[in-house]
Amino acid sequence: MIDAYKKYLSEILIDEVTLQERVQALGEQITRDYADLDNLILVCILKGGVMFLCDLTRHIHVPHEVDFMAVSSYGKGARTTTRNVRIDMDLTTHLTDKHVLIIEDIIDSGHTLQSVMHLLETRRPASLKLCTLLNKASRREVEIPIHYIGFEIEDKFVFGYGLDLDEKFRNLPFIGVVDTSQL
C-alpha cells in the first residue's frame, strides 16, 4: 500500500524540491534576523509542524532551543475549526526573556494561533513571532501577525509534509490537494 495516498490526491500543490528550497530560504532569513540575539527558542505546534520544523532547524545557523506544544481545535475528520482551542501538551521550557518563534504548518482562520500567542505572551518572552509553512489568508477570521510565510495558498484541503488526512499521510514529501470526492 505504498501509494495508498494516490486515491485521495487531486493534484500536487507544492512539490518536494520547491518545498525544500523555500524552507532553506526561510531558515536563512531567520538566521539573519536572529543573528545578534540570544535565547532563540523554536516552539513547534504538533503534530503538523514537526516535518517543517525538522527541515527548517537544519537551515537556522544560530544557536537555538526547540520545544513542542500540542494544540487542537479540529476534531478527527474535521476540515474546519471548532474554535475551542485546547492545549493537549504544554511546553517544558520557560519562555521568560527568550526570543520565541512559533513554527506552524498552516494558518487558516487564525483562531488557534491567536489563542496560542495570547497564552505565550503571558509567559513574558523577549519577543514572540510566528512562522508558518502555509498561509490560507482567504479563510482568516482574526488578525494575527505572521512574520515568516512559506507559501500563500488558496482555500484548498491539503495534506502531506506534516499535514494529515485523518491522521495519515503526514510523511509525504510534497503537499497535495485532497480529492474530496474520495472522502
Reply yes or no on whether 108 is catalytic.
yes
Task: State which amino acid sits at residue 51.
Answer: M
Inter-CA distances, 152 with 34, 41, 67, 138, Å? 24, 25, 26, 10
Phi and psi at 143, nearest 5°, equal -80, 130
Phi-psi region of 60 (alpha: psi -120 to 50; beta: other; left: phi over 0): beta
Q: Which one is catalytic: 33, 55, 108, 179?
A: 108
Amino acid at 55: D
Q: How far is CA 162 from CA 26, 36, 40, 131, in A?
A: 17, 31, 23, 15
Given a contact cutoff of 8 angstroms between Cβ atoms, the answer to whether 62 and 31 are in contact is yes
The C-alpha angle with vertex 148 and arms to 142 and 149, in degrees rounded to 5, equals: 75
d(CA 158, CA 106): 10
Rounded to an integer, what distance in angstroms lies between the CA atom of residue 1 and that of residue 112? 34
* Residue positions annotated with a catalytic role: 108
